[in-house]
Every structure is written in structure tokens, then in C-alpha cells.
Amino acid sequence: MQRHQKQKVPAVEGLFSWPSDDPRLIVSRCKSCKTCYFPAVSTCVNPECDDKEGVEQVHISRRGKLWSYTIQHYPPPQPFPYKSKQEFAPFAVGIIEFAEGIRVAGMLTTTENLGIGTEYEMIVDKLDEDEENEYLTWKFRPTKQGG
């Protein structure tokens, strides 16, 4: 019996461009002070900015530098995909600093050779699935230079 191909869909819409060959995180950038916010927001919260012109949604660079990291040794609670302690494998979480002046948290694709300041790139990867869909999130992967 032939199984139909599951659809690949973002676990939550509007966080990264999808479908895309070059997916990027979607941020709000203040038109006045250029501060970026992720996820996208409707107003700039910089108290020194008058925000006269509002914010616009833009994509940020694919690549950035690791600012901090940790390795998660215990399964996080749901709504993170459920894993029993036996089937759970430790994974890394990092904060990446982008040239646009924003730092964003996300899962890293590896727990090996983590170092602050090394270069990572954003990718889209599977989080979990149900009968119909495969659900996607953003992750950060070391670039050749970084890894």
C-alpha cells in the first residue's frame, strides 16, 4: 500500500519563511531605530525611540555567531515533542548573534565542539509529526568555517 508523502509545515506559522529554498527567520525591524524583534511584533519597545514610522517585517541573515550555549540533558516538558527518558538524547540550545543586532535562541544541530564566537547558520528541521504532517522548527548548524 502506498503511503502518501507527509506535508512539511511549520509547527507555528509566521516565524520563518516557508516553503523556501533559503528559509530565514522573520523579524520586525523598527523603521526608526532599526531594533529587530523575534518573533515579529507590532511596536518598537526601545524607550528612546519615538517609533514614528512603525515596524516592518524583514528576513535576517542566515549566518550568525554563537553567543552562549547549553546542553539539555533532560527531556523538556510538552508541548516540546514528548520523549521518554530512555529514548531521549541530549541536545544543545544556543543563542546566536546576528549582524542585524539581535540575538535569537534555538536548538543547535550538534552537541560537539561548541564554542562561543563560532559561526552558525539557520536551517529548518523536523520537530515532530502526526498522521498528516511533519512539523518544522528553526535550528542552528555550524558552518564549515564555524565547525
Query: Binding string to other proteins for residues 102 to 121, with x set by CB under 8 A, is what?
Result: xxxxxx--------x-----
Compute the distance between CA of residue 30 and CA of residue 52 in angstroms, rounded to an integer. Answer: 9
43 is a site residue for other proteins (CB under 8 A): no
Compute the distance between CA of residue 58 and CA of residue 122 in angstroms, rounded to an integer. Answer: 15
18 is a site residue for other proteins (CB under 8 A): no
Please name which of 134, 136, 139 lies closest in space to residue 94, comparing C-alpha atoms.
139
All residues at 6 or more sequence positions from 6 whose CB lies less than 8 Å from its CB, including other chains:
129, 132, 133, 134
Q: What is the Rg, in whole angstroms, of the alpha carbon atoms belonging to the chain? A: 17
Enumerate residues 44-103 that contact other proteins by CB under 8 A: 45-48, 67-80, 91, 93-95, 97-98, 101-103
Q: How far is the CB of 2 from other proteins (least distance, A)?
A: 32
Query: Binding string to other proteins for residues 121 to 140, with x set by CB under 8 A, is what?
Result: ------x---------xx--
Residue 5 per-residue DSSP state: P
* Span interacting with other proteins, options 1-9, 30-38, 50-58, 118-126, rule CB under 8 A: 30-38
Which three three-digit cell numbers place residue 83?
520523549
Q: Residues interacting with other proteins, by CB under 8 A?
A: 11-12, 14-15, 27, 35-39, 45-48, 67-80, 91, 93-95, 97-98, 101-107, 116, 127, 137-138
